[in-house]
């Protein structure tokens, strides 16, 4: 049966209006993830499609909504109001919640302000906003006295409720994820003094980052040892030795981080520092810069502590090459512990070079020396046989001939 031309025109106009509403509001909210911006946009759109509206708002039913929303300016009140509760007890809202469908009450009504002033209103519409079968919020529109809602306005208000529900749910989920990230970030900041920065970065990437295990990577490894560490205990109390070492090592953190290093392990008398960089020249340069920076910082500490006549000396060893880098999980019956380290011959040789160094020397391997040619002079210490390493190793010093 063919429709009357006027009816066809009405249907076409109605669908076009609804289509334009969807397109207009979706464009407006395309990049919006903040709940109040969504509430303001939907409210403005409701006032646009209902020209007789005195006020329009969305009442969120989420009990924690106050954590991710703020009060908004209401046209019926002189100051911003918390829209989560101010109209919740109105008859139209209660009826819409009870019947889980859009309701229009055509009789006149009133709104009483906190100062006792009475504002006369006309009809009121309330539309439940449902997401996955649950009522997330209620949209309300109060019209001016002496007016009525049209059928067109009723359908457009329902369309607005559909759009608002999906947008609000997405914004709330984004807020929850953001809160979780903030919580993780705060926890990591509290743990920063106790874990390498590489572990913190992996933790921020999520569980998948920590589960990767070790991977073969190009690294420079720097070992720092305190010369005569055991002799310190013959001159000082154990507590004084610990305070002295902690002061020195703490002062090295900034120089190490400036050069892009990660403090991997600390023992009583030494540090192991990793410089991961796929460019061997860049990795070697970072490690050498850090070594010189640490030596300069140690010299300043010696002066400030009055140790010029008997300074605390640091011996260092630097090596370069491929190593297995990543997390190591140590599991026991009472729990597990995770470390981040580089392992293999590259690390072993760097440790041996630091053991060999004396008098505050910085010893480097042949691969390091090749990468820093033209940047710093290197002085031969000959070929050395190290325990656990089959071939002899060419050793170079950065501190001088002797």
Q: Are residues 345 and 231 part of one domain?
A: yes
Mean pLDDT (whole number) for 305-324: 87
For the chain, give me the number of helices (H) and strands (E)?
A: 11, 16
Q: Are residues 81 and 127 part of one domain?
A: yes
- Total Cβ atoms within 10 A of residue 189: 10
Q: Are residues 140 and 28 part of one domain?
A: yes
pLDDT at 286: 94
pLDDT at 194: 44
- Residue 231 counted as domain residue: yes
328 pLDDT tier (thresholds 50, 70, 90): low
Query: Would you give the distance in Å from CA 378 to the centre of its chain?
Result: 43
- Residue 191 counted as domain residue: no
- Range among 132-146, 190-204, 338-352 rated most confident: 132-146
pLDDT at 188: 47
Least-confidence region, from 22-26, 88-92, 186-190, 373-377: 186-190
Q: Are residues 357 and 216 part of one domain?
A: yes
User: Which pLDDT tens digit goes with each residue over 355-365?
Assistant: 999 999 999 99
- Residue 235 counted as domain residue: yes
386 pLDDT tier (thresholds 50, 70, 90): confident
- Domain CATH number, residue 256: 3.30.70.1230
pLDDT at 327: 66
What percentage of the chain carries pLDDT values higher than 90?
Answer: 27
Q: Are residues 179 and 212 part of one domain?
A: no
Q: Are residues 134 and 282 part of one domain?
A: no
What residue numbers bound the domain in which 371 lies?
Answer: 208-397
Q: Are residues 363 and 223 part of one domain?
A: yes
Least-confidence region, from 75-84, 251-260, 262-271, 278-287: 75-84
Q: Are residues 319 and 383 part of one domain?
A: yes
Q: Are residues 161 and 231 part of one domain?
A: no
Q: Nearest 5°: phi and psi at 143?
A: -95, 165
- Residue 147 counted as domain residue: yes
Q: Are residues 370 and 270 part of one domain?
A: yes
- Residue 194 counted as domain residue: no
pLDDT at 266: 67
- Residue 198 counted as domain residue: no
pLDDT of 6 higher than 60 = no
338 pLDDT tier (thresholds 50, 70, 90): low
Number of domains composing the chain: 2
Q: Are residues 68 and 151 part of one domain?
A: yes
Closest to 290 (Cα-Cα) out of 321, 270, 316 = 316
User: Which pLDDT tens digit goes with each residue over 28-85?
Assistant: 666 567 888 888 888 888 898 899 998 888 888 888 888 888 777 777 776 776 666 6
- Cβ neighbors of 79 (< 8 A, separation 6 or more) are 73
């Amino acid at each position: 049966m063919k429709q009357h031309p006027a009816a066809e025109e009405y249907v076409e106009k109605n669908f076009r209006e609804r289509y334009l509403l969807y397109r207009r509001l979706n464009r407006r909210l395309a990049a919006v993830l903040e709940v109040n911006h969504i509430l303001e946009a939907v409210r403005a759109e409701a006032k646009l499609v209902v020209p007789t509206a005195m006020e329009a708002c969305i009442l969120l039913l989420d009990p924690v909504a106050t954590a991710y929303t703020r009060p908004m300016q209401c046209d019926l009140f002189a100051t911003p109001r918390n829209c989560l509760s101010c109209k919740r007890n109105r008859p139209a809202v209660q009826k819409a919640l009870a019947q889980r469908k859009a309701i229009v009450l055509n009789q006149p009504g009133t709104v009483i302000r906190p100062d006792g002033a009475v504002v006369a209103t006309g009809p009121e519409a309330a539309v439940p906003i449902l997401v996955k079968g649950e009522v997330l919020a209620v949209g309300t529109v109060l019209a001016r006295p002496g007016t009525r809602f049209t059928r067109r306005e009723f359908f457009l208000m329902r369309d607005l409720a559909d759009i608002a529900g999906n947008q609000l749910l997405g914004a709330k989920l984004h807020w929850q994820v953001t809160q979780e990230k903030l919580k993780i970030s705060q926890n990591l900041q509290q743990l920063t003094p106790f874990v390498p920065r590489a572990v913190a970065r992996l933790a921020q990437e999520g569980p998948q980052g920590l589960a990767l295990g070790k991977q073969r990577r190009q690294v420079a490894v720097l070992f720092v040892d305190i010369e005569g560490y055991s002799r310190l205990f013959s001159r000082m109390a154990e507590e004084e030795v610990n305070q002295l070492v902690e002061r020195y090592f703490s002062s090295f953190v900034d120089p190490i981080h400036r050069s892009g290093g990660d403090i991997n392990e600390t023992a009583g008398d030494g540090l192991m520092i990793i410089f991961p960089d796929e460019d061997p020249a860049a990795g070697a340069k970072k490690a050498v810069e850090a070594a010189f920076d640490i030596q300069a910082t140690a010299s300043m500490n010696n002066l400030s502590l009055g140790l010029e006549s008997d300074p605390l000396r640091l011996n260092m060893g630097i090596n370069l090459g491929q190593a297995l880098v990543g997390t190591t999980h140590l599991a026991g019956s009472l729990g597990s512990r995770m470390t981040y380290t580089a392992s293999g011959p590259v690390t072993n040789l760097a440790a041996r070079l630091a053991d060999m160094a004396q008098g505050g020397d910085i010893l480097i391997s042949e691969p390091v020396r090749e990468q820093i040619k033209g940047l710093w002079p290197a002085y031969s210490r000959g070929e050395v046989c190290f325990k656990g390493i089959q071939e002899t190793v060419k050793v170079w010093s950065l501190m001088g001939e002797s």
